[in-house]
A and B are shown apart, each in its own frame.
Chain A
Amino acid sequence: MRVSVHKRAFLPLAAAAVATVLAGCGSQIADPTSGSSAASTGTSCVDTSGNSIKVGFINSLSGTMAISESTVFDSLTLAAEEINASGGVLGKQLQVVSEDGASEPTKFAERAGKLIQQDCTAAVFGGWTSSSRKAMLPVFEANDALLFYPVQYEGLESSKNIFYTGATTNQQIIPALDYLAEQGTKSLFLVGSDYVFPRTANKIIQAYAAAKGIEILGEEYTPLGSTDFSTIVNKVRDSKADAVFNTLNGDSNVAFFRQYKSVGLTADTMPVVSVSIAEEEVPGVGLDNVQGQLTAWDYYQTLDTPANKKFVAAFKAKFGAERVTSDPMEAAYTSLHLWKAMVEKAGSFEVDKVQAAADGVTFEAPEGLVTVDGENNHITKTPRIGKINSEGLIDTVWSSPEAVEPDPFLATYDWAKDLAK
């Protein structure tokens, strides 16, 4: 009885709901071939009429990534202030809208949408993890907006809506392998956190090693945040590898290096090359645990270039003398200046004009002169191998003779042919 009464009340409602849903339907993809070139339906709402222009910063200011990403936010802030002090972009002052990615990919996607659609920013800067970038990519493509991504990553990606100012694999991983081969390394042990960057990096290392006759004695992964390395460290020691290639991320490095040291392994007996430990991470991992170990980046605070001296001095003046500068921070700083140069070359804030003007745009960055490659939206970078010194800073021990052209799909390397089809 009760059920039937309720049903009667509900049926018309359901019918109305279904009708409303169907009325809301939009276009279907009729011709599959035209799909890829389907013009974006969202028109840009960027307001260029006033004497200021909005840009968006999206970094994790809360959650597990906050400790790393807030440093990028700081250096972006510095770059924005510098640009504003020198007259802005096309005469307009930058007005920063900042959003918190909260270390969650879905949050990055959601907040990126807000920065584009609601705040109407001319360009967005930020992101750190690969998952945050992968989450934002479709948002920027669907809205035909611009993202500047400042962190080294696993490559195999190119979007006309993203400018990658961090290193791709041939500007970090491969030079590090070249260096090790040059040093006479015959065997390697791979240790990494279990996510896309280490897995892709190790795939590249395996292919490189197979081609160059380097033996891979082990490949071990731990979940992100894992702190138990006793088994792995023992395996590493027993393998007697010439060197260890470390793609661990975050806190795991603390436990790994501590246990590495405790079983008697040192930078002299078995050096570790790390690709995720920069100046910012050294105190967290513990200087006495990592002193003398190697890193692979494109920028170190100790670089002796006029642009770097200016950058480091300005950063310390603004955020405190105890602060350090790192590769992702430099790449973020560079990204905002590159966008300014692109906009000024284009003479417009419009996305398609900026994209068209991007190729060949240069900036005298702290790491040296960088040039935008309009083919893949990456930039040239100078790979450098560093050694962690007694102050916790990193000294350059090897540097590429010239800036390396970005090759995110490793198309110019014969041995990498099977990696990205």
Chain B
Amino acid sequence: MRGLLQGRMGTAAGFTLGAVLLLGVAPAVLPAFNLALLGKFLCFAIVAVGIGLAWGRGGMLTLGQGVFFGLGAYIMAMHMKLADASLFGGSGVPDFMSLYGSGVVPGWWEPFRSPAVTLLAVVLIPGLVALVLGLAVFKRRVKGAYFAILSQALAAAFAVFLVGQQATTGGSNGLSGFRSFFGFDLKDPNNKVMLYMIAATVLLLSLALARQLMHSRLGELLVAVRDQEERVRFLGYDPATIKTVIYVVAAVLAGIAGALFVPLVGIISPADVGVIPSIAFLIGVAIGGRATLLGPVLGAVGVAVAQAGLSSTFPSFWVYFQGLLFVLVIGFMPGGLASLPALVGRRRRTRSAASSPAAPARPAPVATSPDAEEKATVPEEARR
């Protein structure tokens, strides 16, 4: 993995390989059910890319990404419900509203009848919420555990709010039973493949975006803010702005992932946006390696695949296994599994006292000495 990422040609080769695997090999070899499942995992991976940026690079422990995931998902679900209602019912009123509500579509649903407004809103609404929240929080220099608690409380509140609005959001049942996606019949297996393709493409695009950001001046400042926020401020930069921008990017990615999750999985409910899913998003990122480009993605997909495989054989065992893995990684490998090659390499080097000055070749946030780089990879709080 690291080898492939070495240098720009390596990056291009890596992306090409990823694209071939995701867009060519996977649809060709996987049966329909497994492909849809992989599509769902890729949605989690898109969220993970954002968390990797915000948490791994920016040190913002985003414990509430379920909110942005949920906003994107519910916006898409509202549109699909409205579209189905006019395509199949003729009345234009989603089925659950006539059953549990007044039978009248509330005003704030109406804009989402339009596909264009929906697509814009999927990006803009999570982005705007994150912008307002980010400015309010980071300008006041709220950080660390306070930020984590705040974002988690937000996720809890969002889920409780949704449960209470049975007539307009489907309550605890959420929104489900979709039949069409922008006019495409969801029963058609070809369209399911198309949805998977879209998710895979969005993941590749978000990885490209994350790589660009990591290697930009902004990305370097972000790592600097994570490790020494005061020094960055003394240098004349505003850490709040830097953090807010990245927080917005992570939120937008989560929102898009949510919007893709809905047609792929066929349901969105408060159980998918609350505290537990928000934490679950983090686990894969931490296990994979939060500060690297591919670590969060591989971690998120890996944990999801392991869960799908193990949980059907050992239903009650899985939770403990996941917990144990999380504790082991955080305790002994704060950089995640992505830091394993570097750890092994260093141990081998110290043992053989090799003269080769080969520095760990992970995508360097700040290319200085190997020592500084090691520090940069592991956020401050994890090293204490």
B208 at the interface (CB under 8 A from A): yes
Interface residues of A in 267-290 (CB under 8 A from B): none
8 contacts between A and B (CB under 8 A): A6-B11, A17-B19, A21-B197, A41-B187, A109-B265, A110-B265, A194-B163, A194-B171
**A135-B164 Cα distance, complex, nearest whole Å:** 19
- Residues in A with CB closer than 8 Å to B211 are 6
In the complex formed, the residue of A with least CB distance to B189 is A41
Closest A residue to B31 by beta carbon equals: A118
B32 touches A (CB below 8 Å): yes
Whether the Cβ atoms of B33 and A10 lie closer than 8 Å is no
Chain A residues 76 to 134 lying within 8 A of chain B, measured CB to CB, are 99-100, 102, 104-106, 109-111, 113-114, 117-118, 129-131, 134
Q: Are B100 and A199 interface neighbours, CB within 8 A?
A: yes
Q: Flag the segment in A24-32, A173-181, A380-388 that touches B.
A: A24-32
B87 touching A25, Cβ below 8 Å: no
Chain B 326-350 residues near chain A, CB threshold 8 A: none
Q: How far is the CA of A13 from the CA of B33 in the complex (A)?
A: 27
The 8 Å CB contact of A28, one of B184, B272, B311, is: B184
Tell me whether A134 and B185 are in contact (CB under 8 A): no
A20 within 8 A of B: yes
Contact present for B204 and A17 (CB under 8 Å): yes
For residue A342, CB closer than 8 A to chain B, the reply is: no
Contact in complex: B189, A102 (CB < 8 Å): no
Interface residues of B in 34-75 (CB under 8 A from A): 34, 36-37, 40
Question: B185 contacts A26, CB within 8 Å?
Answer: yes
A62–B269 CB distance below 8 A: no
Complex alpha-carbon distance, A134 and B267, angstroms: 9
Most buried by A among B180, B215, B267, B312: B267
Query: In whole Å, how far is B16's beta carbon from the nearest beta carbon of chain A?
Result: 6
Instruction: Give chain A residues whose Cβ lies under 8 Å from the Cβ of B2.
Output: none
With contact pairs A6-B212, A102-B311 given, residues A131 and B188 touching in the complex (Cβ less than 8 Å): no
Q: Which residue of B lies closest to A200 (CB)?
A: B100
- Roughly how many angstroms separate A129 CA and B172 CA in the complex, as a whole number? 10
Question: Given the known A-B contacts A2-B215, A17-B23, are A194 and B11 also in contact in the complex, defined by CB atoms under 8 Å?
Answer: no
Known: A131-B172, A134-B176, A196-B172. A16 touches B188 (CB 8 A): no
Please tell me if the beta carbons of A25 and B190 are within 8 angstroms of each other in the complex. Answer: yes
A131:B269 contact, CB within 8 angstroms: yes
Mark each residue of chain A from 15 to 47: 1 if its CB lies under 8 Å from any CB of chain B, else 0: 011101100111111001001101011100000
With A26-B185, A137-B176 known as contacts, the answer to whether A62 contacts B164 (CB < 8 A) is no
The 7 closest A-B pairs by CB, nearest first: A26-B190, A9-B12, A100-B315, A195-B172, A26-B188, A61-B315, A26-B191
Task: Please indicate which of the listed interface residues A18, A29, A35, A194 has the most CB atoms of chain B within 10 Å of its own CB.
Answer: A29
8 A Cβ contacts from B201-221 to A: 201, 204-205, 208, 211-212, 215-216
Question: A interface vs B, CB < 8 Å?
Answer: 2-3, 5-6, 9-10, 13-14, 16-18, 20-21, 24-29, 32, 35-36, 38, 40-42, 61-62, 66, 99-100, 102, 104-106, 109-111, 113-114, 117-118, 129-131, 134-135, 137-139, 141-142, 156, 194-196, 199-200, 221, 223-224, 420-421
Contact of A21 among B34, B189, B201 (CB under 8 A): B201
Residues of B within 8 A of A18 (CB): 201
Residue in B closest to A36 when the chains form the complex, CB atoms: B88
What is the CB-to-nearest-CB distance from B327 to chain A, in angstroms, rounded to a whole number? Answer: 19
> B255-285 interface mask toward A, CB cutoff 8 Å, 1 = contact, 0 = none?
0000000000111010110000000000000
What is the chain A residue whose CB lies nearest that of B96? A134
Q: B208 to chain A: which residues have CB within 8 Å?
A: 6, 10
The complex places the Cα of A324 from the Cα of B61 at a distance, in Å, of: 47
Known contacts A17-B23, A99-B312; A135 and B267 CB within 8 A of each other: yes
Answer whether A100 and B8 are a contact pair too, CB < 8 Å, given A27-B190, A131-B269.
no
Residues of B within 8 A of A66 (CB): 315-316
Q: Which B residues touch A28, using CB under 8 A?
A: 183-185
Given A135-B269, A138-B178, A420-B99, the answer on whether A5 and B197 have CB atoms closer than 8 Å is no
Q: Which residues of B contact A111 (CB under 8 A)?
A: 312
> Which residues on the A side are within 8 Å of B197 (C-beta)?
17, 20-21, 24
Q: Could you tell me the distance in whole angstroms from the C-beta of A137 to the nearest C-beta in chain B?
A: 6
* Chain A residues within an 8 Å CB radius of B173: 105, 130-131, 134, 195-196
Q: Is the pair B194, A21 in contact by a Cβ cutoff of 8 Å?
A: yes
Chain B residues in 8 Å Cβ range of A32: 87-88
Least CB separation from B216: chain A residue = A3
Known contacts: A131-B269, A194-B163. The answer to whether A26 contacts B189 by CB under 8 A is yes
List CB contacts (< 8 Å) of B196-243 with chain A. Answer: 196-198, 200-201, 204-205, 208, 211-212, 215-216
Whether B16 and A13, one on each chain, are in contact in the complex, defined by CB atoms closer than 8 angstroms, is: yes
If A13-B16, A32-B88, A139-B266 touch, whether A26 touches B99 (CB-CB below 8 Å) is no
Write the nearest CB–CB distance from B180 to chain A, whole angstroms.
5
One digit per residue, 1 when the CB lies within 8 angstroms of any chain A CB and 0 when it does not, for chain B 148-192 equals 000000000000100110100001111011111001111111111
Contact flag A199-B187 (CB < 8 Å), given A10-B208, A17-B204, A138-B178:
no
Once A5-B8, A62-B311, A100-B312 are accepted as A-B contacts, the answer to whether A27 and B185 lie under 8 Å apart by CB is yes
Q: Are B265 and A13 in touch, CB under 8 angstroms?
A: no
Query: A221 to chain B: which residues have CB within 8 Å?
Result: 164
How does the 8 Å CB contact mask read for B1-31 relative to A, with 1 for contact and 0 for none? 0000000110110011001000110010001
Known: A28-B183, A135-B267. 20 other contacts (CB 8 A): A9-B12, A13-B204, A14-B205, A16-B19, A17-B200, A20-B23, A26-B184, A27-B185, A61-B315, A100-B311, A100-B312, A102-B315, A113-B33, A117-B31, A134-B173, A142-B186, A194-B163, A194-B171, A195-B163, A223-B160
